[in-house]
Amino acid sequence: MQTLELDRIECLIFDLDGTLVDSEVLCLQGYCDTVPDLDWDANYIAAHFRGNKLNYIVEQIEKHIGRSLPETYEETYRARVAELFEQSLQSFPGVEQTILALPHPRCIASAGPLKKMRHSLGLTGLLPLFEPHLFSSYVVGSWKPEPDLFLNAAKAMGFAPEACLVIEDSPVGIEAARRAGMQYLLHCPDGHEPPADYDGPCFSRYADFPLLPK
């Protein structure tokens, strides 16, 4: 079991969806809303594909429904998610207060495109707390569980991997942090259970974030 070595942490690398903003269900609902013959609900997709890249999820949907989705599907999907965000996206309780109280340099490393990241952060008022330190898999060309996104973020921020703490909500994100040689912390909001095979540190409320000044 990994325990946090707080005195070694110099930089915080946050995931975005499901970690800072409560967007995971909205993102997954986007698949349900744009594929009428899909008999999976958002909870099923979360249980089986949480944190995976869009192309992989689309491939699994196509296998399940027995047909290919249109070439323009990603555009349709992202437009629907943007609508859902406009309607109801929120940050998790206490995120802004906690971020402002942490003295560490910080950034976001997300699998989503930069446009989507800025939209989410803008809607929730978090953008000024992180910009310009936003890192996207679409720019790096690598997706979790590969470590490249986190390693790229650490290098750009000027810190060695072992000095970074990754805050994630998904098993693939935690695995990417492990492969990058970084410490990791699982965000598991109230009402959620950590993965059965996860034995590392976790927190449920930002008011209990382990690095907050005492």
Q: In angstroms, rounded to a whole number, what is the distance separating the alpha carbons of residues 180 and 109?
A: 13
- Is 15 catalytic? The answer is yes
Answer yes or no: are the C-beta atoms of 122 and 116 closer than 8 Å.
no
The residues, any chain, with a CB within 8 Å of residue 62's CB and separated by 6 or more, are 68, 69
Q: What is the DSSP letter of 37?
A: T
Question: Active site residue: 7, 15, 197, 199, which one?
Answer: 15
Count of C-beta atoms within a 10 Å radius of residue 99: 19
The one-letter code for the residue type at 75 is: E
Q: Which residues pair with 135 in a beta bridge?
A: 109
Cβ atoms of 118 and 23 within 8 Å: the answer is no
Work out the angle at residue 143's Cα, subtended by the Cα atoms of residues 6 and 58, and round it to the nearest 5 degrees: 130
Catalytic residue numbers, as ranges: 15
